Amino acid sequence: MPRTAFFISDGTGITAETLGRSLLSQFENTDFIQVTKPYIDTLDKARSLVGIIEATAERDGIRPIVIDTIVDQAIRDIVSQSSAFKVDIFSTFLAPLEVELETHSTYTVGRTHAIGRDDVYMHRIEAVNFALDNDDGARTHQYEEADVILIGVSRCGKTPTSLYLALQFGIRAANYPLTEDDLDENGILNLPPTLSRHRHKLFGLTIDARRLSAIRTERRPDSRYCSMDQCMQEIGQAEALYRRHNISYIDTTRFSIEEISTRMMNETGLQRRFSPR
């Protein structure tokens, strides 16, 4: 029987959801119905939420799990009256830190994901705009400004990885699709001049042919584009190019965007421009 897990916060709920999902992912043999409840920032909202939690417990026949990052003590007191199994992230970790640091926490709602310093926020926006402007080889003349240029066949994860790198770390990531247009007269995939000039910035992505075919089928079913033969051919040509030019690359088949990004940064030594919020 699946367990219902509530991620609760008096702010956006991002921290509760992120940490909560990480904790629950360690229990592979248990199915979870995950519910995020952000902005529980008044006593009335807290009382209403307790009613939802109790109704869920009655429906499921087992108490829900509540993982929260609520700062306001009065709201926490109301939520604590529910029959759920509760994991209070802030009180669990802040109290020991207060002892170690010999000072009290500010207990500020929304501080983790607030805009904070204007220069950091603006840099994040600029990096995201750069990733969007330089998606799929759209503006190759801006590659001088790129921190990294992701290359790979269509639908192997270049765009979401570029955006994640920009949003989380402020990295200016461009991406370029390797297509049949880059084949020479012998059918060999070569680096186009626009990439050759920035060889030191290139990082390749590859993917299992079956997975790629499934992804492409959702986009263009019953087409040559999604056929296994076409996918296998493109992937083989791309990986041969990586080896020929000694370009580092990652197989994205079983990795999340977060894992792809951090592995790429670790292999290249690329430094984040700011820490993720």
Residues annotated in a binding site for ADP: 152-159
CA distances from 56 to 6, 59, 85, 118, 254 (A): 10, 5, 13, 42, 34
Residue pair 41/71 in contact (Cβ under 8 Å)? The answer is: no
Rounded Cα gap, residues 68 and 45, in angstroms: 14
Encoded amino acid at 54, one letter? E
Distance CA 157, CA 115 (A): 28
Matching residue, tokens 């802040």: 94
Q: What distance in Å separates the CA atoms of residue 137 and residue 176, rounded to the nearest whole number?
A: 4
Asked if 78 and 42 count as a contact pair (C-beta separation under 8 A), the reply is no
Beta-strand ranges (E) seen in the chain are 3-8, 32-37, 65-68, 85-88, 148-152, 173-177, 202-206, 249-251
Q: Helix 118-133 to helix 158-169 angle, to the nearest 10 degrees?
A: 170
Q: For the chain, what is the total number of helices (H) and then of strands (E)?
A: 10, 8
Binding site, by residue number, is 152-159
Structure tokens at 4: 């219902």
For residues 174 and 154, what is the distance between their CA atoms, to the nearest angstrom? 14
